[in-house]
A and B are shown apart, each in its own frame.
Chain A
């Protein structure tokens, strides 16, 4: 109601008043506006719709009464669209290309469409288009978990399956979310890998991003928990430093760490910026070959340091597998094998069987470890 009535009154009063006389005394225009607005404020002040009145019980109704038939064959000729955050994001491009390739495997057809800027609202008009084009599934890496919600719900109402990947939407607005890896697995596996390299002994440190980055802190929490296990009794986490995902700062923090802890044997950097900066420092210093660096990095950034021996191995999820899994998950949804409910199982081509977890999440699996033997197969 407010929407229709609030604007026309002041705006049209001004214009009509102005119209009659050709121009109006300024103080009258200002006074009119002020009175109208003040009135509105007072009227509205007593009672109204506030945050407390809205209940956000928008839980996912992904099942929507439909029953899953795990034995249903994958339908032929399914039409999929990948909607990345923005069309020229190189990482998502790899993912989408791989997903489109997967669709070809089961006789489907995939395409990638998307905006050229990653603003919150820019994906919305593409969702509308995909609805009109009657795609069978939309796979989306959401720029904003909520701005895309309304149109995605409309899509689901029209029996278009919605799968989020890379960046989730609000759970009510999609049927599945393909998660790169579980936080627990990322955290624990990094300690496990480093421990193996260090033969389970020595001082270690962590080079993180910013002090309040949610994902970093979750991972570090699991790292600390893993280190409590008896197998790691000869290992000691001496310090966690923060490079703020800034190349320069990460570089300096690495330098500082190695000066302050001369007995340091290993560094874990669970951020792509941090690990690359740390590797650059170590590769040109006397610590090369003495301090083990591990963590999460991209093959393109780390290739040089793997080849020159500064770093033996690092990990990251494989975007190709992520796109591939997304495509198969969407196909399983569209063919009725799964509905998005917890515990349902489906086969994702050459990746094998996957199970839908809580909140419609499917986890890709352990991160891929990159080393001398396989790094040249990856380009991202």
Chain B
């Protein structure tokens, strides 16, 4: 059987985790694990729709800006005296609207998703600054904040509620991608969009849906982020889009589309989170951490291709 990269990342994750348990004081504590996983909750949440998008040959660079816009809007509306229960649906609607704009530009106007979302990356972040300027809104209600912070865990576990939600959504995403017709359509679109279209798959509709889900999840991640830090700012989550994409690629999801698993993406996110936590605990300087993540990413893109190249050559040689 051909070695699969997502399995390799899973094994690497387990290996890093076990090494951490054995070598690093404080790593295994419940507090630390709760923190380490909660610390990447938003990135993890956004990585799920991103996985589906990348499998379908698309990308959404505007997710982190949508997170920022959602955070800024949450803060501004809260400051204006809106009820938190009203703010959340409104913010989610804004996420849907943002996703619709991305999806509309990609599917109806026919622009490449990379170009569109580079634009909306700037647009949504800009809107966030317009909404909140350089202010920070901080007085969020404890009743809601406690569900986002790492000191509240699902009883008996080290899983925080954002992480628990992530697990549920990851299962949903895995089922959708790997055992439904829609999932197969995504692979088909990612592999050969024209072929998928002629096979009767409603390519545009599905792509639009993916962008809407990405917008929705990002907006929700913005609410989680805001509550977790207790601070709504326009620059919240700046640069997270790169972390999200890095995690997805690290998990072996092919940037050219048509290949990848939710398991791989989840392993990729967790690997980035656990590595960051371990390196920080061992006082490894931030610059070195960035280098480690970068090297891993290059390796994740390079290794499967090298393996394919080598096996192909062997097969050719064997066939004579």
Contacts and interface: CB of A to CB of B under 8 A. Distances in A.
B214 to A, nearest CB: 10
Interface in A1-48: 1-4, 6-8, 10-12, 14-15, 18-26, 29, 33, 37, 40-41, 43-45, 47-48
A3 B141 CA distance: 13
A133 B89 contact: no
A6 B144 CA distance: 13
Interface stretch (B122-130, B232-240, B241-249): B232-240
Given A41-B86, A115-B286, A147-B231, A6 B220 contact: yes
A154 B151 contact: yes
A51 B176 contact: no
B111 interface: no
Contacts of A170: 138
Among B25, B89, B176, B213, the most chain A Cβ lie within 10 Å of the Cβ of B89
Interface stretch (B199-207, B260-268, B293-301, B306-314): B199-207
B233 A54 contact: no
Contacts of B81: 50-52
A18 B25 CA distance: 47
Contact of B92 (A37, A133, A145): A37
A19 B180 contact: yes
Contact of B230 (A20, A45, A131, A149): A149
Given A14-B209, A51-B139, A147-B231, A44 B202 contact: no
B89 A126 contact: no
A286 to B, nearest CB: 41
Interface residues of A, number: 65
A23 B144 CA distance: 36
B86 A48 contact: yes
Given A144-B233, A149-B230, A15 B286 contact: no
Among B79, B162, B180, B225, the most chain A Cβ lie within 10 Å of the Cβ of B180
Among A7, A19, A47, A114, the most chain B Cβ lie within 10 Å of the Cβ of A7
Interface string B1-34: 0000000000000000000000001110101100
A56 interface: yes
A227 interface: no
Contacts of A111: 283
A26 B223 CA distance: 27
A124 B90 contact: no
Interface in B95-127: 96
Contact of B283 (A21, A37, A51, A113): A113
A7 B136 contact: no
A128 interface: yes
A212 to B, nearest CB: 13
Nearest to A158: B31
B231 A125 contact: no
B172 interface: yes
A8 B165 CA distance: 9
Contact of A147 (B85, B223, B230): B230
B92 A10 contact: yes
A157 to B, nearest CB: 9
Given A23-B205, A49-B141, A6 B88 contact: yes
A133 B26 contact: yes
B97 to A, nearest CB: 10
Contact of A125 (B86, B172, B276): B276
A138 to B, nearest CB: 14
B317 interface: no
Contact of B26 (A47, A119, A134): A134
B187 interface: no
B271 interface: no
Interface string B145-156: 001111100000
Contacts of A4: 147, 161, 165
A119 B235 contact: yes
A49 B180 contact: no
Given A14-B212, A49-B83, A131-B31, 19 more contacts: A6-B89, A6-B92, A7-B169, A15-B173, A18-B176, A22-B180, A22-B182, A23-B181, A29-B209, A37-B89, A40-B85, A41-B90, A45-B83, A47-B83, A49-B141, A119-B238, A124-B39, A125-B35, A132-B25
7 contacts: A19-B183, A23-B206, A37-B93, A44-B86, A125-B280, A133-B26, A150-B230
A-B CB proximity, top 10 nearest:
A48-B83, A22-B181, A132-B26, A44-B85, A40-B89, A48-B85, A146-B138, A19-B180, A147-B231, A116-B286
